[in-house]
C-alpha cells in the first residue's frame, strides 16, 4: 500500500471540493490508502508517513495561503526526510490571470527543495489542478486525474 495524503486549506469550500475529487481519483488506484486532511489538522508526522503528498490552497495574491505556508515553513524540521516522495499541487482562484500558476509553483518549489518527485501532466494544466471560483465539471476531472496519477506513481516507486 502507498499512503497518499491530500492537504488543503479552503475558506469558501472550493479548494475542499477539489481535494475530495483528487481523493476520489487516488482511491481508484489499487493499493492506494488515501487520507484527506485540512491543513489545520496536519502534522509533520503526517507528511513523513505519506508516500504521495498533494497540497492545495486558495490563490492569495499569487501565492499559497498563510496556513499552507506555515506548514511548509515548519517542515524545515524534517528537511531531507521527504526526499523521493511523490508530490502534486492544486489551487482555486477568484478569476483568470489571478495567480493560479504562481500559487502552484510556490507549492511545487517547496516540494522540489525537499527532494520530492513532482507528477506533471503533458496535457493542459501541466503544473497541477486549478479552477476559477467553484470547480466546474472539467476542473473536477483534472483533480480526479491528478489524484490517480500521483497515486499510480507513488505505488510504482514504492514497489
CATH 3.40.50.360 fits 2-158, yes or no: yes
H-helix or E-strand spanning residue 46 = helix 44-49
CA gap 57, 93 in Å, rounded: 9
Q: Are 150 and 86 in contact (CB under 8 A)?
A: yes
Q: What is the pLDDT of residues 53-107, one digit of tens each?
A: 999 999 999 999 999 999 999 999 999 999 999 999 999 998 888 899 999 999 9
118-128 pLDDT per residue, tens: 999 998 899 99
Report pLDDT for 17.
98
The whole-number pLDDT of residue 97 equals 80
pLDDT of residue 23: 98
Amino acid at each position: 500500500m502507498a499512503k497518499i495524503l491530500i492537504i488543503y486549506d479552503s475558506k469558501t469550500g472550493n479548494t475542499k471540493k477539489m481535494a475530495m475529487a483528487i481523493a476520489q481519483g487516488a482511491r481508484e488506484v489499487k493499493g492506494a490508502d488515501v487520507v484527506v486532511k485540512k491543513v489545520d489538522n496536519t502534522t509533520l508526522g503526517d507528511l513523513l508517513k505519506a508516500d504521495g503528498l498533494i497540497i492545495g490552497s486558495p490563490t492569495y495574491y499569487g501565492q499559497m495561503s498563510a496556513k499552507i505556508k506555515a506548514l511548509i515553513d515548519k517542515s524545515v524540521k524534517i528537511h531531507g526526510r521527504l526526499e523521493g516522495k511523490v508530490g502534486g499541487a492544486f489551487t482555486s482562484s477568484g478569476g483568470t490571470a489571478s495567480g493560479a500558476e504562481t500559487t502552484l509553483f510556490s507549492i511545487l518549489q517547496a516540494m522540489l527543495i525537499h527532494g520530492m518527485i513532482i507528477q506533471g501532466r503533458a496535457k493542459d494544466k501541466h503544473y497541477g489542478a486549478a479552477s476559477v471560483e467553484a470547480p466546474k465539471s472539467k476542473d473536477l476531472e483534472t483533480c480526479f486525474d491528478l489524484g490517480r496519477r500521483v497515486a499510480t506513481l507513488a505505488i510504482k516507486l514504492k514497489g
